[in-house]
Amino acid sequence: MTIKIIRNEEAYDAALARAAKLIDELGGDEQSDELELLALVIEKYEVEHHPIEAPDPIEAIRHYMDRRGIKNDGALAEAVQLTSGRISELLNRRRHLTLDHIRRFQKIGVPVEALVAEYELDRPGGLRDSKLEE
């Protein structure tokens, strides 16, 4: 078992292939240890070279709605105790989430990390504005 730091895509691909092979053959403690170490160096490389961007807050809310089977603004409004008009403004990017909104969505299970990322508002005529509202 020789595991090296991953420094390029070729080594990354080789490490992924080796990890897949180890998963298929997993049998002994030595293979298990090798897989665990390999996973650590793969993760380090991915964090540095293939970072996952924070999700868009509105898309995170829509994903939550899909997962929970919430079909309309009214049902979501009831869940977070906001008016359906306010929910519509938020989901249609007419208004930014406030701290109060973030807390309400977090209480129903939308991860706070997904709610705090910056995002743009839609303005009439299709223009976008990334400035936060006062």
pTM for the predicted model, two decimal places: 0.58
Q: How far apart are alpha carbons 2 and 34 in whole angstroms? A: 8
3-class SS shares of the chain: helix, strand, coil, % to 5: 60, 5, 35
Instruction: Report which residue type is found at 92.
Output: N
pLDDT at 30: 74
Sequential pLDDT tens for the chain (134 residues)? 789 999 999 999 999 999 999 998 877 677 889 999 999 999 999 999 998 887 899 999 999 999 999 988 899 999 999 999 999 999 999 999 999 999 999 999 999 999 999 999 987 654 455 444 43
- Single-letter code of the amino acid located at 101: H
In the prediction, which pLDDT does 132 show?
45
DSSP E strands: which ranges in the chain?
Answer: 121-122, 128-129
CATH number, position 107: 1.10.260
Helix crossing, 29-49 with 9-25: angle to 10°? Answer: 150
Domain assignment present for 14: yes
Question: For residue 4, is it within any domain?
Answer: no
pLDDT on residue 134: 37
Task: Kindly state whether residue 2 falls inside one of the protein's structural domains.
Answer: no
Rounded to whole angstroms, the Cα distance separating 1 from 114 reads 39
pLDDT at 29: 73
Instruction: Report the number of distinct structural domains present in the chain.
Output: 2
In a domain, 30, yes or no: yes
